[in-house]
Structure 1
Amino acid sequence: MNPTIALPILLVLLAGAMIALQAPTNVMLARAGGSPVLAALISFAVGTAALLVAWLASGNRPGLAPFSMLPWYAWVGGVYGAVYVAIAAYAAPRIGLASLITIGIAGQIVMALWLDHIGALGLMRQPISAARVVGALLVVAGVVLVRKG
C-alpha cells in the first residue's frame, strides 16, 4: 500500500468504527431523555467541547477574513451531521445497528457518486462510470443481505 495514503485510510477506518459506536450511545441518551433530538443535542455539545479543546491545543488561530468569503452553504455541514445523529438515535433500536449503518452507507455512496459526477462543492469532477455504478449496486445488495440476514 502507498504509504502516503495508508494513514488516511486507517484514520477513515477508525472514524467509521466510531460512527458505529455513536448510534448505540446516542440511543442510550435518547432513551434516558425521551428524545432523539435531545440525544443529538447532547452528542453535539460534547463533540463541540472536545473539538474546542483539540483546536485550542493545536495552536491554529486563523483570522475571520477567510470565513467571510465562504458561500452560505459552507456553514450548514453541521446540520447534516445533526440530522444524521438524531435519525440514527431514532432508527437504530427499530431497524438494528447493522441495517442503520449499511443503509446509511448506501445513501452516502449514491450522494457521493452524484456530487463527484457534477463536481459539486469544489470537488474534482469524476463522471459516473459503469464500474462505479456496479460498486454502488453491490453496496445496495449488501444492504439487502444485511436486512434479510
Structure 2
Amino acid sequence: MAMDNEVLGNVAFGIIFLIIAGLLVGLQGPLNGKLSHYSSGSFSSMINFAIGFWPLFIYFMGDSRGGKLINGEEADWSGLSKKTLWWAWLGGIFGSFFVLILTIIIPRRGAAITIGVIVCAQLIASIVFDNCGWLGSTAKPTTAVRGVGAAVMVIGIVLVTLF
C-alpha cells in the first residue's frame, strides 16, 4: 500500500512531536529532581503542576474559545460529569504520582535508569491494554514480534542499569 505525501507528512509531523515530547519528559525529570534537591520531592511536584497549569490553561482557553466549545461544539459543562465515566478523571492523579516519583527517584538513581524503567513499564502496560482493548484503546493482538520488541527494550534497560 503506497502512502501519499500528505499521509507521510502527517506521520512525520506526528513523529517529530512525539520525539519532542520524549525529550521534554527526559528533561522534566532531572529538572524536578534538581528542584527537589534544593527543596523536597513534594514541593517540586506541586510546583511542577502549578507552573504547568498555566500553559495548559492558555491552550484550553484558545482551543475552547474561552470555554465555550468542546471539540468544536457548544460546551455543556454541567452535563460533562454525568456523561463521563468516573475513571476517566483519574489521569491527573496518576500524572501527579508520576511526577512525584520522578522527583524522588532521579536524584537517587539517575535519569537514564529512571526514565528507561518507566518507558519499559509503559510499553508493557500499553501492549496489555492494546491486547485487551481496555479503557477505549483500539484492540490490537499481542504478537511474537511485539513481545520480542518489549523484551529487547527490557534488555536495553538492564544494560543501561548495569553499565
Give TM-score, length-normalised by structure 1. 0.93
| Partner amino acid, structure 2, of 1:37 | S
Once residues 32 and 106 of structure 1 are traced to their aligned partners in structure 2, the CA distance between those partners, rounded to angstroms, is 29
| Partner amino acid, structure 2, of 1:41 | M
Once residues 16 and 106 of structure 2 are traced to their aligned partners in structure 1, the CA distance between those partners, rounded to angstroms, is 26
Alignment counterpart, residue 37 of structure 2, candidates 13, 27, 31: 31
**Is 2:156 the partner of 1:142?**
yes
Q: Extract unaligned runs of 5+ from structure 1.
A: none
Aligned-residue offset at 1:106: 0.5
Aligned-residue offset at 1:148: 1.5
Partner of 1:53: 58
Asked whether the equivalents of residues 45 and 96 of structure 2 are also in contact (C-alpha less than 8 Å), the reply is: yes
Once residues 31 and 4 of structure 1 are traced to their aligned partners in structure 2, the CA distance between those partners, rounded to angstroms, is 41
**Is 2:27 the partner of 1:21?**
yes
RMSD: 1.4
Give TM-score, length-normalised by structure 2. 0.85
Partner-residue secondary structure (3-state), 1:128? coil
Q: Extract unaligned runs of 5+ from structure 2.
A: 1-6, 70-74
Moved more, 54-63 or 132-141: 54-63
**Is 2:126 the partner of 1:120?**
no
* 1:82-118 deviation per Cα after TM superposition (whole angstroms, max 9, x unaligned): 1111101111111111111111111001100110011
* Larger Cα-atom Rg: 2
Aligned-residue offset at 1:32: 2.2
Alignment counterpart, residue 124 of structure 2, candidates 99, 102, 110: 110
Asked whether the equivalents of residues 37 and 107 of structure 2 are also in contact (C-alpha less than 8 Å), the reply is: no
Aligned-residue offset at 1:4: 2.1
| Total equivalences in the alignment | 148
Aligned-residue offset at 1:66: 4.1
- Misfit runs of 4+, over 2 Å: 57-62, 65-68
Aligned-residue offset at 1:61: 2.7
